[in-house]
Structure 1
């Protein structure tokens, strides 16, 4: 079941869902608007191959900035953080969706990483890209997306209880931690 506005406000006010900072004006009929943080990370153009099992290739050739705004160029991919830090209990999951007004500018918010497990804590790393033919400026603090919350049965082993929860308590835009996985032979 998708949580609606009054259910979201109730669960947030009771501390069942934690949102920091929380602005009640961001509660929508079926979602919670989230805002863009000020940390941006991207790969510099180059010919070096990124091998997901090799930490050095995942972390090399990267630039980052803390800024009040960021110009996203056509075809550019950037990781960004949400302003909000969230914490989900063991019976609520969320998905991140783009806001229509931002999508109409050509900015996508996530590639495939739009699922947030029960038990997750931290900021959300956005996988932003500009599919427009023109650059688009985005601003820290602007509503950039929305979280849709779903109730589920209680997870037996929520994200915060997993031994391999690579992104638990992440802050800032976080590069892939795929190298922590074992390569299958």
Structure 2
């Protein structure tokens, strides 16, 4: 795991994470950085598919954007995708995992995360679902997920998938890389 002192150096010298909040640049907490909600998407009606060589996801609709909208209300049972304000630029020797902030689970909200492979560059998209019985309101720009970085130190392959650059949906059928 890479410590915050080294992470801040990588941010400054290698642009590891773009658009970090002032709080993260001056006083990061824990073993990485907190990332903020920049945009919220609803998944449109329709079908998705994940095959052996092909896939497609449902279309999405942007419903809230930082700078334009103040907050978003996630209703009980509602699922949305959230895109970060920050953009990562992972070098070939760094991977990252994500953990939800504990305030979310204390509010009945689950975050669905993945990993970021070495070489990935772009914003990050996560699923968010209100499993509770009450509305959950959050401000655009709120910190929702903690990113933790690891030095891979071995010969790993760089990410070359179609989600490179921070896409949110496939926009139709595509062949997987």
Give the TM-score, by structure 1 length: 0.78
Q: 1:153 to 1:177 in 2, by over 3 A?
A: farther
Residue pair 1:94, 1:116 contacting (<8 A) in 2 also: yes
Give the TM-score, by structure 2 length: 0.82
Residue pair 2:31, 2:148 contacting (<8 A) in 1 also: yes
Pairwise CA distance, 1:86: 1.0
| 1:25 pairs with 2:23 | yes
Pairwise CA distance, 1:70: 1.2
Pairwise CA distance, 1:157: 2.9
Pairwise CA distance, 1:43: 2.8
In the TM superposition, what whole-angstrom CA distance separates every residue of 1:81-130 from its partner, at most 9, and x where no partner exists? 101111100000001110012221112221xx421101011100011111
1:151 matched to which residue of 2?
151
Gaps of 5+ in 2: none
Pairwise CA distance, 1:29: 3.0
1:99 matched to which residue of 2?
101
Gaps of 5+ in 1: none
Cα distance in 2 for residues equivalent to 1:153 and 1:4: 15
2:166 matched to which residue of 1?
170
> After the TM superposition, which residues 29-108 of structure 1 pair with which residues of structure 2 at under 5 Å, given as runs?
29-37=30-38, 39-44=39-44, 48-52=46-50, 55=56, 58-59=58-59, 62-65=60-63, 66=65, 67-108=69-110
Secondary structure of 2:49's aligned partner: coil
Pairwise CA distance, 1:145: 0.9
Residue pair 2:95, 2:118 contacting (<8 A) in 1 also: yes
- Point out the structure with the larger strand share: 2
Pairwise CA distance, 1:177: 6.9
Size of the aligned set, in residue pairs, is 166
Secondary structure of 1:29's aligned partner: coil
Residue pair 2:4, 2:32 contacting (<8 A) in 1 also: yes
Residue pair 1:71, 1:138 contacting (<8 A) in 2 also: yes
